[in-house]
A and B are shown apart, each in its own frame.
Chain A
C-alpha cells in the first residue's frame, strides 16, 4: 500500500470509510484521558488554576503550525507529483488549520487576561500567530475566489510553499521586533523545565489534538471529494438539458 495507490478517489473513499471510525474512537479515548489528567493536574504555585488553560492552548498552537506543514507537503504533491488527491488534502486542511489558530489566539487571550492583565498584548508570539491566522484566511479566500478547482489548487500551492519559506522569517523578525512572552520551555536543549505533573497531560493532549486533526482532515477530504462529484454531476445534467 503506497501513497500512489490512494490516487484513485474511490479507493481512498473505501479505505477512509473503514479507518475513520477507529480514528474517531481513538481520538475520543485519548481526549478523555487527556482532559481527565488536565483537570486533576495540580494548580501552579503562581498561576493557580488558570494554568489549566495551557493544556488546551499549547496543543492548539502546535497544531496551527503542524497544519501548515501538512498543507506544504500536499502542495508539493500538487506541483511536483501531480497527485490527484493532494489538492483535496490542501483545501480540506486550510479551514481546520485556521480554526486551530483561532482557538490558540482565543485561549491565549483568555489566559493573558488574568496573567498579564490584558486580553491582547503586541508581544512577539501572539503577533506571529495572528499573522499566521491572517495567512490562513488569505489562503481560504484564494480557494473561494476561483471557480475552477485545479487552477485554484496550483495557485494556492505556490502561495502555501512561499508561506512555508516566509513563516520562519516572519517569526524571527517579529521576535526581533518585540519580546515579552516567556521563552520556550518544553522543547529546548537540556530537557524540559516543565514539571512531570504538567508535562504528561500536555503530551497526552497534544497526541489527542493531532488525532483530532487527522480525523477531521480525512472527513473533510471525503466531503470535498463528494462535493466535487456532486458538482460534476450537476454540470453533466445541465449540459444534457442544454443539448
Chain B
C-alpha cells in the first residue's frame, strides 16, 4: 500500500514539474476549443448547441495525447524495469500510475471546463453538466488509453498508431458522455440512465485497463 501511494505521489510530482507535461494537456484542450469557432463560425447559438460535443472531443483528444508518455519516460530511465520486478503486483502498479496520471492531467481538464464553457456560450447548468460527465467519464479514457500506452512502450512506437488503436475503444464513453450532457441541456431524455452507464464504463475500464496493460508489459518487455 505504501509502495503504491509512494508511486502515485512520485508520478504526480514528476508530472507537475518542469518537463512533466501534465499542464500541456490543458493548454491543448484550450487550443482545440478556441479553434472550433473558426471552423463553424462565430454563431453563439450554434456554438452553445455544439458546446458539449466540442468540450468532450477536446477532453478526449487531450487525455489521449498526454497518455503517450505514461510508461515511456519510466522505460527510458529504467524505473519501469524496477516496477515490473518489484513485489507489488504489476496490475496494481499500473492502476496506481493511471490514477496518478488522471489526478495530474485529467482533473485540470475538468477544472478548465467552466472557463471554456463561457467561450462556447454555455449557461451555468450546462457547464456543470458537462463538467460532471467529464468527471465521471475521463477515468474511463485514462484507463483504456493506458492499454495503448503500454503497447506503445513495448513496441517503441507511439503517437499516431496508438491513437488509431485506442480511439475506437473510447466511442462508448463519448456517446454516453455527450448523451448525458445533452439530456440536461435539451431535456426530453433522462439524465440518470446515460450517466449511470458512463460511471459503469469507467468502473469496467478500471478493471480491464490495468490487467491488459500489465499483460502487454509482461509479455512485451525484454
Contact = CB atoms under 8 A, between A and B. Distances in A.
Interface of A: 79, 131, 134-135, 137-139, 141-142, 145-146, 151-152, 154-155, 157-159, 161-163, 165-166, 169-170, 172-174, 176-177
Contact of A158 (B151, B175, B201): B151
Contacts of B175: 173-174, 176-177
Contacts of B161: 138, 141-142, 145
A91 B16 CA distance: 41
A155 B179 contact: no
Given A158-B147, A161-B212, A151 B220 contact: yes
Contact of B165 (A159, A169, A172): A159
Given A154-B216, A158-B215, A173 B151 contact: no
21 contacts: A134-B168, A141-B161, A145-B155, A146-B155, A151-B220, A154-B154, A155-B151, A155-B155, A155-B216, A157-B219, A158-B215, A159-B147, A162-B212, A166-B172, A169-B172, A170-B169, A173-B171, A173-B172, A173-B175, A174-B175, A177-B179
B35 interface: no
A80 to B, nearest CB: 10
A49 B7 CA distance: 65
Contact of A138 (B147, B150, B165, B171): B165
B138 to A, nearest CB: 17
Given A145-B161, A173-B197, 13 more contacts: A138-B165, A154-B216, A155-B154, A155-B220, A158-B219, A159-B165, A161-B212, A162-B169, A170-B168, A170-B172, A173-B176, A176-B179, A176-B197
Contacts of B220: 151, 154-155
B10 to A, nearest CB: 26
Interface residue SS majority, chain A? helix
Given A146-B157, A165-B208, A176-B179, A79 B215 contact: yes
A118 to B, nearest CB: 22
A131 B179 contact: no
B82 interface: no
A157 B155 CA distance: 13
Interface in B191-222: 194, 197, 201, 204, 208, 212, 215-216, 219-220
A157 B220 CA distance: 11
B161 to A, nearest CB: 6
B214 to A, nearest CB: 10
Nearest to B217: A158
Interface in B149-163: 150-151, 154-155, 157, 161
